[in-house]
Structure 1
Amino acid sequence: MFTSARNQLSGKVSAIQRGAVNDEVEITLPDGQQVVAVVTHSSTESLGLKPGVDAFALIKASWIILLTDTAGIRLSARNQLSGTVEKVTPGAVNAEVTLKLASGDLIAAIVTNESITNLGLKAGVAASAAFKASSVIVGVKA
């Protein structure tokens, strides 16, 4: 599959919480971390989402927020994936940071160069990627 979304995480649907308008779909990644997405009822049905189904989550790099010290922090963002910075690619204003999860999956985030300095982001530094459930696009292979 080719898409402009830099982040493509595969796993299995582990839970679905039906809501009044939308559903929360939980996808468990190979390393045990979970991604939660909010999708419409019709999307849940048309994609055939149910526990045990293989699915993938797409998240744009610009939707990712990086944190380096999460002790004592609580966020409204449902998704918080832990990993280690693998690479920082600086640009004129922004940089791309690649975070490696325990599963080997990579998460790319676009952050300002100032944030790179302020957070001390460099290869080997532990960090977390946070993003909202409404920023996740869910797909399945046909």
Structure 2
Amino acid sequence: MKTSARNQFDGTVTGVKPGAVNDEVEITTPSGLKVVAVLTHESVVNLGLEPGKAAFALVKASSVIVVTDEAGARFSTRNRFSGTLTQVQQGAVNAEVVIDLPGGSRVAAIVTQESANRLGLVPGQPATALFKASSVIVGVPG
């Protein structure tokens, strides 16, 4: 499958928590990374999402927030993955950064060049990728 989303996490549905309107779906990758998505109940039913089913999670790089110094801060995002910055590609307006995660996964993020400079983003630096469960698009193999 080809998509424009820079972040694709292939895995298996390991949890579905039903709600009145939205359901929470957890997808676990082979390396153990757990991605949480919030979908409409109708989407969960239409995709046949249930524990054990193969699925993938897509997240646009522009939906990823990069944090370099948490200093005890708490965040409301359900998806929080820490690793090491391995790429910082600077542009005129935005910078693309890639965070390598334990287990071989990667997360790409697009941040403003001003933010990249303010955070002092450089390869080798520890960083955390944050994204909301509502920013995750879930699909199933065809």
**Residue aligning to 1:63:** 63
**Residue aligning to 1:113:** 113
Cα deviation, residue 26, structure 1: 0.8
> 1:77 and 2:94 equivalent?
no
Q: Secondary structure of the equivalent of 2:46? A: helix
**Mapping of 1:5-20 within 5 angstroms?**
5-20=5-20
**Residue aligning to 1:104:** 104
Cα deviation, residue 61, structure 1: 0.7
Cα deviation, residue 56, structure 1: 0.8
The CA distance in 2 between the partners of 1:54 and 1:83, in whole Å, is 25
TM-score, normalisation: structure 1:
0.94
TM-superposition CA deviations, 1:32-85 (whole Å, max 9, x none): 231110111121112111112221110111111000122411111111111211
The CA distance in 2 between the partners of 1:74 and 1:139, in whole Å, is 30
The CA distance in 2 between the partners of 1:33 and 1:118, in whole Å, is 29
Cα deviation, residue 126, structure 1: 1.1
The aligned length equals 142
**Residue aligning to 1:42:** 42
Q: Secondary structure of the equivalent of 2:31? A: coil
Gaps of 5+ in 1: none
The CA distance in 1 between the partners of 2:126 and 2:29, in whole Å, is 19
* Identical-pair percentage: 60
The CA distance in 2 between the partners of 1:119 and 1:92, in whole Å, is 17
Cα RMSD (Å) of the superposition? 1.2
Q: Secondary structure of the equivalent of 1:50? A: coil
Cα deviation, residue 122, structure 1: 1.1
TM-superposition CA deviations, 1:86-139 (whole Å, max 9, x none): 100000011000111112222111111222222221111111111111110001
The CA distance in 2 between the partners of 1:70 and 1:14, in whole Å, is 28
Moved more, 58-67 or 118-127: 118-127
Cα deviation, residue 15, structure 1: 0.8
Gaps of 5+ in 2: none
